[in-house]
Every structure is written in C-alpha cells, then in structure tokens.
C-alpha cells in the first residue's frame, strides 16, 4: 500500500480546517522508523498550531499533518537498528519539525529511531498513545528542571488535565508532598492520583494560600514568579509551560534572587521515555483517559480539548483496514 488516512490541515483556522482523507505514506529516511500508528492523542498544541499561534515557526501554512504522540508498531527500520519490524513502540514527534516530518494524526508516521522507546508492556495502544507529550513535559519539568527530591513539596496548578494528571503521579513517585489545584469536580481524582492536599480554586483564592513550596509548577500558566513568590521557598523553583517568552524574560530580570523561574518546552527523548516506562510498568503512573475519538472525528476531539475542561487526556484511535 502507498496511501493512508490522515487528518490533513489545508490552512490555519479552527477544527474545520482539518479534513480526514487519503495521502501518501511517508518515505522513511535512514535512521528513522516507519510506524503504524494505533493511537495518538490531542494536546492543546494541536489547536494552537492550527489556530496560527506558532506561525513564527511554521510560516504561511500549518504543517500538513499534526499530532505529537504515537503508540504503534514498527513497519520498517534500518537493518542494524535496535528496533525490529513488529516491535511495539511509543514516542513524541519533533513538534518544531512538523513542516518537514509528518505528525501522528495518521495511520502511519515516521520518527527518528533515537527518539523512540519500547511501549510500556502493561498499557494498551490507546493508553500509551496519550502519554508521551504530557509525560515528557512533567518529567522534564519536575526531574530535569526542578530536580524535585523526596521530602520536598510541589504545587501543581492545573492538576487534573493532561500534564497535571501525570505530574501528580510522578511527583508522588519521587517522594514529594503534592498539592494539586483543580476545580471541585476533579478533587476526588486528584486525591486518587496521589495528591496529599487539593485546592479547589473555585472555592479558595489560590493566591491567598499561605503555604510555601519547593516547586510551583504552573501547568495552567496564568501566573508568574512575581504573583506567587510568597508561596515559593527561598531557594525554590517556579516553572511555567505556557507563557514561555515572558517566563524566560522574567528569569533574566531575576538574577539576584535565589528563587528561580523557568520556562520548559518539551523535547522528545528516548531516555526520559524509558524512565517513564519504568514508572508505568511499576504501576506508579497510569493513563487517565477522558474520551477516545476515532480519527474520523478528530474535529470533535479538538473542539473538546479547546474547552479546557478535559479530565486527563483525549485519545485518537486509528483504524487499520490495510497493512500499510
């Protein structure tokens, strides 16, 4: 077979700028894997790219095929690659390179082999396909950037969505004391995932809270170091994953303070994926799935994600009527 189904973007716009149709299966380059995608997932970056927020990277037209996360089966690999045809893998495509390398909202994708990892043995494709981007974001923020240690405390602002639901579990597995911030409707889930304390932001003014944390992880991204400084310990860390430019600039304006402020942009990384796989196979981290959409209904999934009310993740399930 030379063609596949994919969600194709023709122009910037809302979900109506996407059509699910046939296109050519990508040509695998040396050092890459060709992967039959069984599941991908929706992340806010999908509709942000489609809306045109990242024109500075992608130019006049959006990438033809979006989608960061994938879980699937290796169809082709270099002869001496560590992955073999038939291996189950998961990974994150290079979002900045989506113009030249197709994303994962498709029956088949290609990805540099060194960025890919074996899929966790205890997950379904659907579960695994929801985790790479949010899992790597949580891991790179809490482990690499904040160097969160056992016995430290972390506040996770926006703990019930994609990144937050993994960040709670990861922080707990690292031995931290975890305070989550979410709406009352998601409070029970937050405790179930491992929060020691939960702040319902609809009932309590988060900024009036007098506790102090070693790490203030701003997943919602609507705060900054200045507004939450009183809630961060003297040597503590503030991380924002949404307002990257202003957070980076404010870090430059903060050189004499011991409290640090960081913007994190997720990067595909096979070692970090393998570390997450370990936590998942040890049952310290699980996927939280709100809804599974078929590829044909990806427009509804994008619209659902834009409500900011998703609990955990939205999965995209790929049907395979061909062997690609």
Ligand X SMILES: NC(=O)c1ccc[n+]([C@@H]2O[C@H](COP(=O)([O-])OP(=O)(O)OC[C@H]3O[C@@H](n4cnc5c(N)ncnc54)[C@H](OP(=O)(O)O)[C@@H]3O)[C@@H](O)[C@H]2O)c1
DSSP string of 110-164, one letter each residue: EEEGGG-EEPPTTS-HHHHTTSHHHHHHHHIIIIIIS---TT-EEEEESTTSHHH
52 binds ligand X per the rule CB under 6 A: no
Q: CB of residue 44 vs ligand X: minimum separation in angstroms? A: 3
String of contacts with ligand X for each residue 185-204, x by CB under 6 A: -x--------------x---
Residues 96-125 binding ligand X (CB under 6 A) are none
Q: Could you say which of 91, 102, 164, 236 contacts ligand X (CB under 6 A)? A: 164
Structure tokens, 308:
């900011």
Q: CB of residue 103 vs ligand X: minimum separation in angstroms? A: 15
Q: What is the dihedral of CA 66, 69, 75, 80, to 10 degrees?
A: 110
The residue among 98 and 133 lying less far from ligand X, judged by its C-beta, is 133
Q: CB of residue 134 vs ligand X: minimum separation in angstroms? A: 6
126 binds ligand X per the rule CB under 6 A: no
Sign of torsion over alpha carbons 79, 80, 83, 86: positive
Q: Could you say which of 59, 149, 192, 265 contacts ligand X (CB under 6 A)? A: 265
The residue range among 161-169, 269-277, 279-287, 315-323 that interacts with ligand X, by the rule CB under 6 A, is 161-169
The neighbour count for residue 28, using CB atoms within 10 Å, is: 18
Give CA–CA dist 294/221, Å, rounded: 30
158 binds ligand X per the rule CB under 6 A: yes
Give CA–CA dist 93/273, Å, rounded: 13
Structure tokens, 26:
């990508």
Residues contributing to the site for ligand X (CB under 6 A): 43-45, 133-134, 137, 157-158, 160-164, 181-183, 186, 201, 219-221, 241-242, 264-266, 305, 308-311
């Amino acid at each position: 077979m030379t063609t596949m189904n994919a969600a194709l973007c023709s122009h910037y716009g809302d979900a109506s700028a996407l059509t699910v149709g046939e296109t050519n299966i990508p040509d695998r380059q040396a050092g890459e894997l060709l992967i039959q995608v069984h599941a991908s997932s929706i992340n806010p970056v999908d509709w942000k790219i489609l809306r045109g927020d990242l024109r500075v990277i992608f130019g006049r037209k959006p990438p033809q095929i979006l989608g960061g996360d994938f879980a699937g089966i290796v169809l082709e690999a270099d002869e001496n690659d560590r992955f073999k045809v038939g291996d189950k893998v998961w990974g994150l495509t290079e979002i900045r390179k989506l113009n030249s390398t197709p994303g994962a909202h498709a029956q088949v994708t290609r990805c540099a082999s060194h960025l890919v990892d074996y899929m966790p043995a205890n997950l379904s494709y659907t579960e695994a396909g929801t985790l790479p981007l949010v899992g790597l974001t949580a891991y790179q923020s809490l482990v690499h950037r904040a160097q969160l240690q056992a016995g430290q405390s972390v506040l996770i602002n926006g703990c019930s969505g994609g990144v937050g639901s993994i960040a709670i579990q990861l922080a707990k597995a690292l031995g931290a004391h975890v305070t989550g911030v979410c709406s009352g409707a998601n409070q029970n889930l937050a405790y179930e995932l491992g929060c020691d304390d939960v702040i319902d932001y609809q009932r309590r003014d988060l900024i009036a809270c007098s506790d102090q944390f070693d790490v203030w992880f701003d997943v919602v991204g609507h705060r900054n170091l200045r507004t939450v400084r009183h809630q961060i310990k003297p040597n503590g860390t503030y991380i924002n994953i949404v307002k990257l430019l202003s957070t980076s600039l404010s870090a430059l304006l903060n050189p004499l303070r011991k409290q640090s402020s960081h913007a994190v942009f997720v990067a595909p990384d096979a070692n970090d994926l393998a570390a997450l796989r370990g936590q998942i196979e040890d049952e310290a981290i699980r996927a939280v799935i709100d809804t599974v959409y078929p590829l044909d209904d990806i427009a509804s999934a994008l619209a659902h994600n834009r409500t900011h009310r998703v609990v955990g993740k939205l999965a995209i399930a790929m049907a395979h009527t061909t062997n690609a």
